[in-house]
Amino acid sequence: MGPFDFFLPGRRLAKQLTQLDQLSDPLLVDVRTPEEFRSGHLPGAINLPLDQLGTVPLPKGRPVFVYCHSGARSAQACSTLRAMGCQASNLGGLAGYRGPLE
């Protein structure tokens, strides 16, 4: 069981989680502020706040899964990342997450 098994199910989210489990090296990106990230984040996630997306190059061939608190910032981040050529998927928000945080 991985950290993604604790998100509350939804049709779109369930499909993404199934895809995530099948990938060998997904990149998990938390687009919340550094303060929010320090208060608890998914294991293995990196912090790249929404307002800094263009400042750090992300691998274009590696699938990127993005989350925030509610899903609004992660949706914006996915749009930005896709425009930059990344394979980005929105996991939504931690508000529906019931698993362990680091």
pLDDT along the chain (102 residues), means of 10: 46 54 82 97 92 88 90 94 91 78 88
Q: Which helix (H) or strand (E) holds 78?
A: helix 72-83
Contact of 62 with 43, CB cutoff 8 Å: no
pLDDT for the residue 1: 42
Residue 16 lies in a domain: no
Cβ within 8 Å of residue 76, ≥6 positions away? 31, 50
Rounded CA gap, 95 and 55, in Å? Answer: 27
How far is the CA of 102 from the CAs of 22, 36, 70, 72, 95, in angstroms?
23, 12, 18, 22, 15
Number of domains in the chain: 1
Q: Domain range holding 80?
A: 27-37+61-102
Q: Which residues are catalytic?
A: 68
85: CATH: 3.40.250.10
Please tell me the pTM assigned to this model: 0.80
Q: Is residue 55 part of a domain?
A: no
